[in-house]
């Protein structure tokens, strides 16, 4: 079985997870959203399901797919030591923005 990292390396699988993050969906809806053929989406869903990232709920003839985020803990744990890298940069950006003067009244800063 592929690791969570190997499964997430495929961009279309990440797109599917992004769509399932909002709510559970049927294959047809994912096909429409992604613009892929149904067999391709089904193949990606099978890989995601085998990795434990997606769960299936049957409702009569329908199959509803939903995100199961628990395996993403492995990714979060791996990223943890690197968080300082972007957090320090975000802190520096915040300090820079706080030091900038505000835009004059009536003038759109953007």
Chain segment 85-106, per-residue pLDDT in tens? 777 777 777 888 888 887 666 6
93: in domain: no
Segment 53-96, tens digit of pLDDT: 999 999 888 999 999 989 888 888 888 888 777 777 777 778 88
For residue 95, the model assigns a pLDDT of: 82
The answer to whether residue 73 sits within a structural domain is: no
Q: What is the DSSP string of 20-60?
A: HHHS-EEHHHHHHHHT--HHHHHHHHHHHHHTTSEEEEEET
pLDDT band at 32 (very low <50, low <70, confident <90, very high): very high
Domain with 14 in it: what CATH number? 1.10.10.10
In a domain, 32, yes or no: yes
Answer yes or no: is pLDDT of 1 > 70.
no
Residue 25 CB neighbours (<10 A) = 19
The number of domains in the chain is 1
57 within some domain: yes
Containing structural domain, residue 32: 4-67
């Amino acid at each position: 079985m592929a690791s969570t990292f190997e499964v997430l390396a495929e961009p279309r699988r990440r797109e599917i997870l992004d769509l399932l993050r909002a709510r559970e969906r049927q294959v047809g809806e994912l096909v429409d959203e992604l613009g892929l053929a149904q067999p391709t989406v089904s193949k990606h869903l099978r890989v995601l399901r085998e990795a434990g990232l997606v769960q299936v709920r049957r409702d009569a003839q329908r199959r509803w797919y939903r995100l199961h985020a628990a395996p993403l803990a492995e990714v979060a744990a791996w990223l943890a030591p690197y968080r300082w890298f972007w957090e320090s940069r975000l802190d520096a950006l915040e300090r820079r923005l706080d030091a900038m003067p505000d835009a004059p009244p009536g003038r759109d800063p953007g």
